[in-house]
Amino acid sequence: MEKIKIITDSTADLPRFIIEKYDIEVLPLLVNFGDESYLDGVDIMLPQLLDKIEHSGIFPTTSQINPERFYNCFKGYLDDGYKIVSLNLSSKLSGSYQSACIAKDMLETEDIVIIDSLNVTSGLGVLVIKACKLRDEGFGIKEIEQKLIEAIPHVKSALAFERLENLVRGGRLSKTAGAIGSILGIKPILAVEHGEMVVRDKVRGSKKAARIIMDYLNTKGVKEGETVILLQAENKDILPILREHLKENNRDFIESEVGCVVGTHSGTEACGLFFIEDY
């Protein structure tokens, strides 16, 4: 059996117990407030990020992982006898995937597989968990790569937003749409499709938003053996509805919270589901 290390980045938004259970290496992206930079999930956590945005009046930017950081990480594991599967957030949302490819080229090895997840947050997270399960079942890196490439088009998501300010600031919603949505109580439901964030639906009220998300999960179905991730960012309205629905339907699920990079763009009070559909 190959000695394999699964590597991802902090935008996978995986809970600590999953990272420890599967011994996943997580490389943090950077969150920048002016000249100050913080490692996502290491130097700064979501509550601190939100507090800093509120009190500083500065809207942060985020930075990709550069090739040097990937190189040093990869080389350390290669030197210890590992082969590597590196799963990265969508190349359409960040340059981190390209940085990982550059690092692999610098190392001139075939013992590293670099995969563009075409996902972010828990969409990336479900793929990382799948990679770990495949590794633990004895598959090699090339077999894991093939099975993940097959699964990527089947990663589904639906994430409702209670507050729209950060979506407007991050360019996901126009100022006009954000203002009208806030006034009318309209909640956009976003998804990741073909590597980019898109608006899947727009509804009024938390209960209707939760119903749309639950119906989407039920319609698509979940592939046997795969884990659903219930993701939230300080949400109190939709979270308990989705949690109860998953329990009542005996779904295998874990709960997680968005990290600082994703939280910069999502803001608070977001909640939704990520899963691999039945295919």
Q: Where are the domains of the chain?
A: 4-49+60-152, 154-276
Can you give the pTM of this predicted structure?
A: 0.92
Tokens of 192: 């990741």
What CATH number was assigned to the domain covering residues 154-276?
Answer: 3.30.1180.10
Whole-number Å distance between alpha carbons of 211 and 272: 11
The pLDDT value given to residue 178: 45
Task: Evaluate whether 8 touches 24 at the Cβ level (below 8 Å).
Answer: yes
Give residue 156's identity as a one-letter amino acid code.
K
Dihedral pair phi/psi, residue 34, rounded to 5°: 60, -120
The pLDDT value given to residue 114: 98
Q: How many C-beta atoms lie closer than 10 Å to residue 139's C-beta?
A: 19
Tokens of 126: 């479900």
Same fold, 4-49+60-152 and 154-276: no
- Is the domain spanning 4-49+60-152 CATH 3.40.50.10170? The answer is yes
The pLDDT value given to residue 169: 60
Could you read off the pLDDT of 235-250 as tens digits, one per residue?
889 999 999 999 999 9
